[in-house]
Protein backbone atom coordinates (compact mmCIF):
# COMPACT_ATOMS: atom_id res chain seq x y z
CA UNK A 1 0.00 0.00 0.00
CA UNK A 2 2.86 2.38 0.83
CA UNK A 3 4.37 1.61 -2.58
CA UNK A 4 1.09 2.48 -4.32
CA UNK A 5 0.85 5.77 -2.44
CA UNK A 6 4.44 6.61 -3.39
CA UNK A 7 3.82 5.81 -7.07
CA UNK A 8 0.62 7.88 -7.05
CA UNK A 9 2.39 10.87 -5.50
CA UNK A 10 5.31 10.53 -7.93
CA UNK A 11 2.92 10.36 -10.91
CA UNK A 12 1.13 13.52 -9.79
CA UNK A 13 4.44 15.32 -9.25
CA UNK A 14 5.64 14.24 -12.71
CA UNK A 15 2.48 15.57 -14.35
CA UNK A 16 2.60 18.89 -12.48
CA UNK A 17 6.28 19.35 -13.24
CA UNK A 18 5.77 18.69 -16.94
CA UNK A 19 2.90 21.19 -17.04
CA UNK A 20 5.12 23.82 -15.40
CA UNK A 21 8.00 23.05 -17.76
CA UNK A 22 5.72 23.32 -20.77
CA UNK A 23 4.70 26.80 -19.64
CA UNK A 24 8.26 27.95 -18.87
CA UNK A 25 10.21 26.13 -21.63
CA UNK A 26 13.57 26.69 -19.97
CA UNK A 27 16.50 26.48 -22.34
CA UNK A 28 19.29 26.11 -19.76
CA UNK A 29 18.59 22.49 -18.81
CA UNK A 30 20.29 19.47 -20.29
CA UNK A 31 17.03 17.69 -21.03
CA UNK A 32 14.18 19.74 -22.44
CA UNK A 33 10.47 19.19 -21.98
CA UNK A 34 9.40 16.94 -24.84
CA UNK A 35 12.56 14.83 -24.65
CA UNK A 36 11.94 13.81 -21.04
CA UNK A 37 8.75 11.94 -21.88
CA UNK A 38 10.42 8.58 -22.27
CA UNK A 39 10.20 5.31 -20.38
CA UNK A 40 13.84 5.67 -19.34
CA UNK A 41 13.17 8.97 -17.56
CA UNK A 42 9.92 7.67 -16.07
CA UNK A 43 11.58 4.55 -14.64
CA UNK A 44 14.51 6.56 -13.31
CA UNK A 45 12.09 8.89 -11.49
CA UNK A 46 10.07 5.98 -10.09
CA UNK A 47 13.18 4.30 -8.67
CA UNK A 48 15.05 7.46 -7.63
CA UNK A 49 14.90 8.22 -3.89
CA UNK A 50 12.96 11.46 -4.30
CA UNK A 51 9.39 12.70 -4.54
CA UNK A 52 10.36 15.86 -6.45
CA UNK A 53 10.56 15.54 -10.22
CA UNK A 54 13.23 17.49 -12.06
CA UNK A 55 14.31 17.40 -15.66
CA UNK A 56 17.94 16.96 -14.65
CA UNK A 57 18.93 15.46 -11.32
CA UNK A 58 22.35 16.11 -9.79
CA UNK A 59 24.52 13.09 -10.59
CA UNK A 60 27.82 11.72 -9.34
CA UNK A 61 30.54 10.78 -11.79
CA UNK A 62 30.88 7.16 -10.71
CA UNK A 63 29.58 4.57 -8.28
CA UNK A 64 31.66 4.49 -5.10
CA UNK A 65 32.02 0.78 -4.44
CA UNK A 66 33.25 1.08 -0.85
CA UNK A 67 30.33 3.34 0.08
CA UNK A 68 27.87 0.96 -1.59
CA UNK A 69 29.42 -2.09 0.10
CA UNK A 70 29.12 -0.38 3.49
CA UNK A 71 25.45 0.46 2.91
CA UNK A 72 24.70 -3.11 1.78
CA UNK A 73 26.45 -4.50 4.89
CA UNK A 74 24.36 -2.13 7.03
CA UNK A 75 21.18 -3.34 5.32
CA UNK A 76 22.05 -6.98 5.97
CA UNK A 77 23.15 -6.37 9.57
CA UNK A 78 20.21 -4.17 10.54
CA UNK A 79 17.65 -6.45 8.89
CA UNK A 80 19.12 -9.40 10.78
CA UNK A 81 19.14 -7.39 14.01
CA UNK A 82 15.47 -6.50 13.62
CA UNK A 83 14.61 -10.13 12.90
CA UNK A 84 16.52 -11.28 16.00
CA UNK A 85 14.83 -8.63 18.18
CA UNK A 86 11.40 -9.72 17.01
CA UNK A 87 12.13 -13.43 17.41
CA UNK A 88 13.92 -13.26 20.75
CA UNK A 89 12.18 -10.39 22.51
CA UNK A 90 8.77 -9.50 21.07
CA UNK A 91 7.28 -12.86 20.08
CA UNK A 92 7.89 -14.48 23.51
CA UNK A 93 6.11 -11.58 25.20
CA UNK A 94 3.18 -11.84 22.82
CA UNK A 95 3.00 -15.61 23.25
CA UNK A 96 2.85 -15.18 27.02
CA UNK A 97 -0.56 -13.60 26.56
CA UNK A 98 -2.48 -16.87 26.56
CA UNK A 99 -5.93 -15.41 27.13
CA UNK A 100 -7.93 -12.66 25.41
CA UNK A 101 -7.24 -9.15 26.68
CA UNK A 102 -10.69 -8.75 28.22
CA UNK A 103 -9.93 -11.68 30.57
CA UNK A 104 -6.62 -10.21 31.80
CA UNK A 105 -6.29 -7.77 34.67
CA UNK A 106 -5.37 -4.17 34.02
CA UNK A 107 -2.01 -4.58 35.77
CA UNK A 108 -1.12 -7.56 33.57
CA UNK A 109 -1.97 -5.63 30.41
CA UNK A 110 0.10 -2.63 31.55
CA UNK A 111 3.02 -4.91 32.45
CA UNK A 112 2.99 -6.57 29.00
CA UNK A 113 2.77 -3.21 27.24
CA UNK A 114 5.69 -1.85 29.25
CA UNK A 115 7.73 -4.97 28.46
CA UNK A 116 7.02 -4.36 24.75
CA UNK A 117 7.91 -0.65 24.88
CA UNK A 118 11.70 -0.99 24.78
CA UNK A 119 11.95 -3.53 21.93
CA UNK A 120 9.31 -1.62 19.98
CA UNK A 121 11.27 1.60 20.38
CA UNK A 122 14.50 -0.09 19.29
CA UNK A 123 12.82 -1.55 16.21
CA UNK A 124 11.45 1.85 15.20
CA UNK A 125 14.89 3.48 15.55
CA UNK A 126 16.64 0.70 13.64
CA UNK A 127 13.96 0.79 10.94
CA UNK A 128 14.35 4.57 10.53
CA UNK A 129 18.12 4.23 10.10
CA UNK A 130 17.71 1.21 7.82
CA UNK A 131 15.26 2.88 5.44
CA UNK A 132 16.23 6.54 5.46
CA UNK A 133 19.98 6.12 5.70
CA UNK A 134 21.09 2.72 4.47
CA UNK A 135 18.51 1.80 1.81
CA UNK A 136 17.99 5.24 0.30
CA UNK A 137 21.74 5.88 0.16
CA UNK A 138 22.32 2.48 -1.48
CA UNK A 139 19.66 3.20 -4.11
CA UNK A 140 21.06 6.70 -4.64
CA UNK A 141 24.56 5.31 -5.07
CA UNK A 142 23.42 2.69 -7.59
CA UNK A 143 21.60 5.38 -9.60
CA UNK A 144 24.46 7.89 -9.15
CA UNK A 145 21.91 10.24 -7.58
CA UNK A 146 23.83 13.05 -5.87
CA UNK A 147 21.12 14.76 -3.78
CA UNK A 148 21.42 12.81 -0.51
CA UNK A 149 19.41 14.98 1.90
CA UNK A 150 16.71 12.44 2.76
CA UNK A 151 15.82 13.96 6.12
CA UNK A 152 16.71 17.04 8.11
CA UNK A 153 17.13 17.18 11.86
CA UNK A 154 13.38 16.90 12.47
CA UNK A 155 13.97 15.96 16.10
CA UNK A 156 15.16 19.55 16.74
CA UNK A 157 12.23 21.21 14.94
CA UNK A 158 10.32 23.86 16.87
CA UNK A 159 7.24 23.73 14.65
CA UNK A 160 5.89 21.96 11.56
CA UNK A 161 7.54 24.47 9.20
CA UNK A 162 11.02 23.40 10.33
pLDDT of residue 21: 53
Pairwise CA distance, residues 147 & 158, whole Å: 25
- Of the three residues 11, 36, 57, the one that is the final residue of a domain is 57
Pairwise CA distance, residues 121 & 27, whole Å: 50
Q: Verify that 72 and 134 share a domain, yes or no.
A: yes
**3-state class of 99 per DSSP?**
coil
Share of the chain above pLDDT 70, in %: 80
Q: Is the pLDDT of residue 3 over 70?
A: no
Q: Verify that 126 and 71 share a domain, yes or no.
A: yes
pLDDT of residue 20: 54
Pairwise CA distance, residues 59 & 140, whole Å: 9
pLDDT in tens, 116-153: 999 999 999 999 999 999 999 999 999 888 887 777 77
Q: Verify that 71 and 91 share a domain, yes or no.
A: yes
pLDDT in tens, 99-109: 787 888 899 88
Domain extent, residue 78, equals: 65-142
Amino acid sequence: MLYRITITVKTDVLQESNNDDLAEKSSASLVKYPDNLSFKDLYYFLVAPTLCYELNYPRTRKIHKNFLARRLCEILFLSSLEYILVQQWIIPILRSIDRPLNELSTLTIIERLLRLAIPNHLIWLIFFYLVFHSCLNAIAELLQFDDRLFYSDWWNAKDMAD
